[in-house]
């Protein structure tokens, strides 16, 4: 969780002060009621945090419904509560952002995230028009508790792939997420060493306004793990726990996580989405966000390359086929479909090379790759081949896309 209260900033001579953004705050009084130290006060216009009373527990952070409480500044001297109560907006920071100011992730989350994003060649900023992402509002020590509102099997009964669409309702707990973010699930019980299970990360499969618009809920796409990569029988702790949940049961959730794998919001932005299996979750969230806003005509092209073993193992196959072709260009690859030659997403990418190259070079196009790690190499090689055929180096193109926040890869 991000730090709060009276702390030393990374820049010598400065302090890091916890503040409330007056432009976002809705004056709901939740933070003042939550704070046990009496550090938060309010006047006729604003809410303020007393620097000398805030002890950094962070109890106020996850309760804020707007994220206004998630504000910090490096200061030479602390702003008084009286000064804060007269603000119309936050003052500027006294120093440029430092890497040390990034929210501290649990070690296992940081390790998973680093591995998942390795294929893009390094850190990538979010799209310039992406909404502000809130992260680390809930930690393993202070998780959110969600209630299962739905658990639906997406793949056919009897098929070798058991994928579920699980809806979690957060009730009165603020849990703001954006398309492309992930959450952590804390399975109950202990591991083989007698300690608590590690966090398992799952991409959010619903748009920012909820699986059901206007409700404080979100959806996950979960595949039941019954064997490892070598085909040996195993029981996935978190996946089996989630797939077996019944409506009304409660789940401990951490996060949200992720501040770069986000969709752009500016008019005309196009999305090139490539995924396999449950890697469809963020693509489903982004597509649904666009579908709900179709009447506004504020989006560019949507192109999807989606791979699975068979049609029966493709999550969201039915709803995907009902989307109009002028809304989204869908390309499906099946590697084990009976009576059909094996086909992978990289094969379809090569078959649509002119479209893909145009999108790779479009300054308003953003590329997202999510799914199995084994897919990543094939897709990147297809990109390299397409760039070479057009006289460009994929190495250079990839670096350029990453640096401007147009390339986002999360594979596991």
**In this predicted structure, what is the pLDDT of residue 229?**
65
**What kind of fold does domain 7-101 have according to CATH?**
Alpha-Beta Plaits (3.30.70)
Q: How far is CA 331 from the centre of its chain?
A: 24
Question: What confidence tens digit (pLDDT) does each residue in 212-236 have?
Answer: 988 899 999 999 987 666 667 777 8
Which residues neighbour 410 within 8 Å (Cβ) at sequence distance 6 or greater? 116, 117, 203, 261, 279, 282, 369, 370
CB 254 within 8 A of CB 146: no
- The CATH class given to the 144-257 domain equals mainly beta
Question: What confidence tens digit (pLDDT) does each residue in 110-147 have?
Answer: 888 888 898 888 888 999 999 988 888 898 988 999 99
CA distance 295 to 61: 35
Counting beta carbons within 10 angstroms of the beta carbon of residue 395, is it exposed (0 to 12), middle (13 to 18) or buried (19 or more)? exposed
Is residue 179 helix, strand or coil?
Answer: coil
Evaluate whether 7-101 and 144-257 have a shared fold: no
CB 159 within 8 A of CB 223: no
Average pLDDT score over the chain: 88
Whether the predicted pLDDT of 63 surpasses 90:
no
- For the ranges 28-32, 114-118, 184-188, the maximum mean pLDDT occurs at 184-188
**Residue 196: pLDDT band by 50, 70, 90 thresholds?**
confident
**Residue 1: pLDDT band by 50, 70, 90 thresholds?**
very low
CB 333 within 8 A of CB 307: yes
CB 307 within 8 A of CB 283: no
Q: Give the position of tokens 């296992």.
A: 108
Domain ranges of the chain: 7-101, 107-131+260-411, 144-257
Give me the mean pLDDT over the 56-78 stretch.
80
* pTM (predicted TM-score): 0.77
**In this predicted structure, what is the pLDDT of residue 257?**
94
- The CATH class given to the 107-131+260-411 domain equals alpha beta
């Amino acid at each position: 969780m991000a730090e709060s209260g009276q702390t030393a900033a990374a820049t010598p001579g400065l302090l890091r002060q916890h503040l409330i953004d007056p432009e976002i705050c809705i004056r709901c009084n939740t933070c003042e009621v939550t704070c046990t130290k009496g550090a938060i006060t309010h006047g006729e216009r604003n809410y303020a945090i007393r620097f000398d009373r805030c002890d950094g527990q962070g109890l106020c952070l996850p309760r804020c419904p707007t994220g206004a409480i998630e504000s910090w500044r490096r200061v030479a001297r602390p702003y008084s509560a009286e000064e804060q109560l007269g603000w119309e907006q936050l003052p500027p920071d006294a120093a440029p952002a430092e890497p040390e100011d990034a929210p501290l992730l649990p070690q296992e989350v940081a390790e998973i995230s680093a591995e998942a994003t390795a294929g893009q060649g390094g850190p990538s900023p979010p799209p310039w028009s992406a909404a502000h992402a809130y992260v680390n509002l809930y930690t393993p020590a202070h998780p959110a508790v969600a209630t299962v509102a739905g658990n639906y099997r997406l793949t056919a009964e009897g098929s070798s792939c058991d994928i579920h669409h699980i809806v979690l309702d957060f009730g009165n707990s603020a849990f703001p997420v954006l398309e492309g973010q992930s959450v952590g699930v804390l399975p109950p019980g202990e591991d083989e060493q007698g300690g608590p299970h590690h966090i398992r990360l799952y991409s959010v499969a619903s748009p920012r306004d909820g699986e059901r618009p206007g409700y404080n809920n979100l959806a996950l796409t979960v595949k039941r793990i019954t064997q490892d990569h070598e085909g040996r029988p195993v029981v996935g702790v978190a996946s089996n726990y989630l797939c077996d949940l019944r409506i009304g049961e409660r789940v401990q959730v951490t996060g949200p996580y992720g501040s770069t794998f986000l969709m752009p919001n500016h008019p005309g932005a196009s999305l090139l989405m490539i995924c396999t299996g449950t890697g469809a979750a963020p693509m489903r969230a982004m597509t649904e966000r666009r579908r709900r806003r179709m009447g506004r005509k504020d989006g560019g092209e949507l192109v999807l390359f989606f791979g699975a073993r068979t049609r029966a193992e493709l999550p969201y196959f039915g709803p995907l086929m009902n989307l109009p072709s002028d809304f989204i260009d869908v390309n499906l690859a099946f590697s084990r479909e009976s009576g059909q030659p094996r086909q992978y997403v990289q094969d379809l990418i090569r078959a649509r090379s002119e479209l893909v190259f145009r999108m790779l070079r479009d300054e308003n196009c953003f590329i997202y790759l999510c799914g199995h790690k084994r897919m990543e190499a094939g897709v990147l090689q297809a990109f390299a081949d397409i760039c070479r055929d057009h006289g460009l180096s994929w190495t250079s193109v990839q670096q350029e896309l990453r640096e401007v926040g147009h390339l986002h890869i999360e594979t596991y």
